[in-house]
A and B are shown apart, each in its own frame.
Chain A
């Protein structure tokens, strides 16, 4: 975070001795802020003041890495509160919870289910990236260790939820090479837990009954030298969890309090136990407001489809449109003889158009060419959707070799291109489609009829 001259001035000796070469301490402070002078040019700045300034220039929120090798995930590292200010850095990750208190059948079912949601959306793999393994003391340590081993087989980043330092030590020992999170430190056990985490070199999750208590424990952990932390926003209530998630982020970013600058973990599975729809609501809420890891009882497609879509939307670069890959998208079981339609690669256009085409039930080939990720009219105006660009793409991608049908529907908004496309793509029957995607269903049905 850039320091303002005023922040430096407040710590300056305010003697106006001119020994640094500047006429006043204020002028000197401004030069330091601009990088035009080094603070060491002033002989009177106290060491303490210098340390404060160093601290203030460090990033407000730590980037915490979990998981090893290809599975490594970065959490936190955010620099803003709102996505329109600057792109968010680390997307929210979702975990499914297992507990050693569950019976074997339930555990087996969960283990099998975790891999179920796994699909691609605009070039991003959507799946459950983490598994939360909770320790139930009543079920005993052995069962827990057994479960940790099983969970490790899923090849996901693990979060070990365990407040018993001894059991935690044994569990971490089993999987420490995979860099799990050990979640379970609080005011009562932080010293022992911190020792386990530090020794194994893993991230420690810390929590408390409320924001205030959690903060005090963070301070104590920092005093022990442990800053490799993630904050569990707690399970006291949804309200308190939300407060903690928001205050951590805001206090770190806005007020520069580094002790709040850690990623967060939200146990939606506990906050809304047994209510999958409420967990869906909370997953959405905490994806919007500052959850780094969100734990669910399960992740089914109903929950996942909107959630991963939302995450993809929220974590995009506000300056950069989302694009889909150019290519032939076969819809409703289309083959080489099915009618062809074309539109731009702007993700939003693609989704709306492909959604309507699916709704029509008509088999068709949606041909997407590279239009710079712009919408139809914008792409046309920028020269990125023209008879030339379409003809060029058809040649490059060998569309004529792949599709036998020779009818191509173009977006109604670029009806003016019809003649030019006909000239560039001889042998094709160019048809002007509707101007809005919603009219596609009727359009295709009319065409068939």
Chain B
């Protein structure tokens, strides 16, 4: 099995510092966050430029080139609702360290992002929802099937669709947590890859609780077969849990220093 893929979520326009840096094309704050995440063990970096309706193409190109030229062609997830911006980003993307990820498609209005990924030999994160959260796993798997079929019909490798069951917040949807985990097991049984914004589970919880909840969930989800997650890699406890689970799953070979590498 391949090692768990952590996608660092900290380059996000929701952060005022990043939003300002993107607007001013100021490399420093973005490079700093990239470095922090890579040092902490992130494999992919997510680049969320927001809706970026006016200058999305230019901005995404700039961000892709900035990050890849400074960090040895680090693989990236291109995260925006602006399709043209994603295409522009891919046009300057270097694949040496991994295919680009299109973040994201769903089974509803954004299903065409699968076409975009297929046309550009990219990975796509496929949210198992259409209009709103799936009511149950039957619906989730229906969305999964629709997106998978679309990808396959366009010649994609099934493993290039990373299915996102949509992690739900515990405070409010505690009774639905096991269903999400069961969905992951179903993806895994099908031989499919999966990912998701795992820390959504702990939204609204006190700061010191969140790493505990996140790492417990990631361990359970990895047991179910989760192959990737979009997380904050600077969360040490979470990263240690992921590395330890990778050992148990025989995804990486144990050495006494495994946490340091």
Contact = CB atoms under 8 A, between A and B. Distances in A.
Interface string A24-65: 111101100110000000000000000000000000000000
Contact of B141 (A14, A24, A33): A24
B142 A23 contact: yes
5 contacts: A4-B190, A10-B152, A24-B142, A27-B141, A30-B186
B189 interface: yes
A26 B144 contact: yes
A23 B149 CA distance: 16
Contact of A14 (B144, B149, B186): B149
Interface string B116-155: 0000000000000000000000100110110011001000
A5 B142 CA distance: 15
Q: Return the 7 tightest CB-CB contacts between A and B, nearest first.
A: A26-B145, A5-B190, A4-B191, A23-B138, A6-B191, A6-B190, A24-B142
A33 B191 CA distance: 11
Contacts of B191: 4-7
Contacts of B192: 6
Contacts of B145: 9, 14, 16, 24-26
Nearest to A4: B191
A26 B141 contact: yes
A24 B138 contact: yes
B190 A30 contact: yes
Contacts of B186: 30
Nearest to A14: B149
B197 interface: no
Interface of B: 138, 141-142, 144-145, 148-149, 152, 158, 186, 189-192
Contacts of B158: 6
Contact of B189 (A5, A10, A25): A5
Contacts of B144: 26
B190 A26 contact: yes
Nearest to B152: A10
A27 B138 contact: yes
Contacts of A4: 189-191
Contacts of A25: 145
Contacts of A5: 189-191
A421 to B, nearest CB: 37
Interface in A176-221: none
A5 B187 CA distance: 9
Contacts of B149: 14
Q: Which of B190, B191, B192: most chain A Cβ within 10 A?
A: B190
A34 B142 contact: no
B148 A26 contact: yes
Contacts of B189: 4-5, 30, 33-34
A23 B152 contact: no
Nearest to B149: A14
B49 to A, nearest CB: 34
Contacts of A24: 138, 141-142, 145
A290 B104 CA distance: 45
A23 B144 CA distance: 13
Nearest to B142: A24
A348 to B, nearest CB: 23
A63 to B, nearest CB: 27
A81 to B, nearest CB: 16
A6 B144 CA distance: 12
Most buried by B among A10, A25, A26, A27: A26
Contacts of A33: 189
Interface string A72-92: 000000000000000000000
Given A5-B191, A6-B192, 9 more contacts: A4-B190, A5-B190, A6-B158, A9-B148, A10-B152, A24-B141, A26-B148, A26-B190, A27-B138
Nearest to B138: A23
Nearest to A29: B190
Nearest to B145: A26
Nearest to A3: B191
A34 B188 CA distance: 13
A34 B144 CA distance: 19
